[in-house]
Structures are given as C-alpha cells and as structure tokens.
Amino acid sequence: MSEMSLRSEKSRPDPAHRRVVERLEAQARDVRRLCADLNEAAISRRVKPEKWSVKEVLAHIARVQEIFEGRLDALLTKEKPTIVSYSPENDAGFAAISAKPAAELLQWFEGTRGRIVTRLATLSPADWHRPGAHADYLAYDVHFCMEYMAHHEAHHIYQMFERRAAFAPTVH
C-alpha cells in the first residue's frame, strides 16, 4: 500500500464513529420535535408530580451535554484526564438551570450539540480513541464518552415522548 493510501485510510471516518455522530444529530432533532409547539406552561407541566416535566428533562440533558462537552475537551487536550462521575442530585446549579425559559434551554442544548457534532466530525480515528481514566469504566475514550452520552440521552428522550403524549400530540 502506498504512503498516500495509508494516510487516507487513517483519516477516513470509521463507520462506528460516523454512527455516533449521526445518532447525536438525530436525537437533537427528536428533542426539538418533542419540545415543538408547547408553550411554557405546557412544557413545564408535570404529568406525575414526582416525575420531571418535559422542560425539566430538557434542562437535565442540556446540563449533562455541557458536562460531556467538557469531558470531550479534556480527552482531546490532556493526556489521560481523570473523568469524574456526574451526580444530578448533587448539582447545586440544576434548579437555576431548570428555571430558565424552555426556549432558552432548547437554544443552549442545540448550540452545544452543534459544537460537539462539528468537533466530532473533524476527529481522526486516533482522536476518537484518546483515553481518559474513569473509576467506573475500564476503557474510557472519546468514542465511549460520546456513545455513553447518546445512550443516556435516548432514555430521557423516551421520557420526553411519554410525558408529552399524556397532554399533547407529538409533532411529526
């Protein structure tokens, strides 16, 4: 194999990495769709008093995404950074975040998602596997970090879907 074809092989996006990016893009569209056409009172409504509203779920995934953007930055700029677990119940700032208007939360979510996706789309295959150290996971790298965020978020998108369906039709 020539040197040029070896270089292009190393820079070609891996299908697994591309799927993570595509999933993050698709899930952002789902979040936007599930928040669409709901006024502030509706999106803030708790269908069950002990469960978060659609807006509170949006606030949570926007906050978690911010944390994961910081993890992504650390993984790409530091040598094997230590990644600390996030505990939403210990997040002193979450009440203030969830009190923001839904439109502001959605704009924050979409802006952060755009930065993450843009950054991921430019990574080399080697960058996707830059390691970090996490107490709960044996192998923690950029790929694991972003896939973990996507799986976590998917669970909450389901919650948004379920909560919205109790009082408003979903937008197609």
Q: pLDDT band at residue 171, thresholds of 50, 70 and 90?
A: confident
Residue 24 lies in a domain: yes
Range of the domain at 38: 14-165
Residue 68 lies in a domain: yes
- Alpha-carbon distance of 160 to 80, in angstroms, equals 35
Find the mean pLDDT for residues 110-124: 97
Residue 5 lies in a domain: no
Rounded (5°) CA angle 99-26-60: 20
The pLDDT of residue 4 is above 50: no
Residue 7 lies in a domain: no
pTM tops 0.75, yes or no: yes
- Residue 2, pLDDT score: 45
Q: What token pair was written down for 170?
A: 């979903």
**Cα-based distances in Å from 159 to 25, 48, 124, 172:** 18, 12, 34, 17
Residue 122 lies in a domain: yes
- CB contact set of 125 (below 8 Å; sequence gap of 6+): 10, 11, 12, 13, 14, 17
Q: pLDDT band at residue 12, thresholds of 50, 70 and 90?
A: low
Q: What is the pLDDT of residues 27-51, one digit of tens each?
A: 999 999 999 999 999 999 999 999 9
Domain count, the chain: 1
Residue 138 lies in a domain: yes
Q: Three-class SS of residue 90?
A: helix
Residue 4 lies in a domain: no
Residue 85 lies in a domain: yes
The pLDDT of residue 110 is above 50: yes
CATH number of the domain within which 136 lies: 1.20.120.450
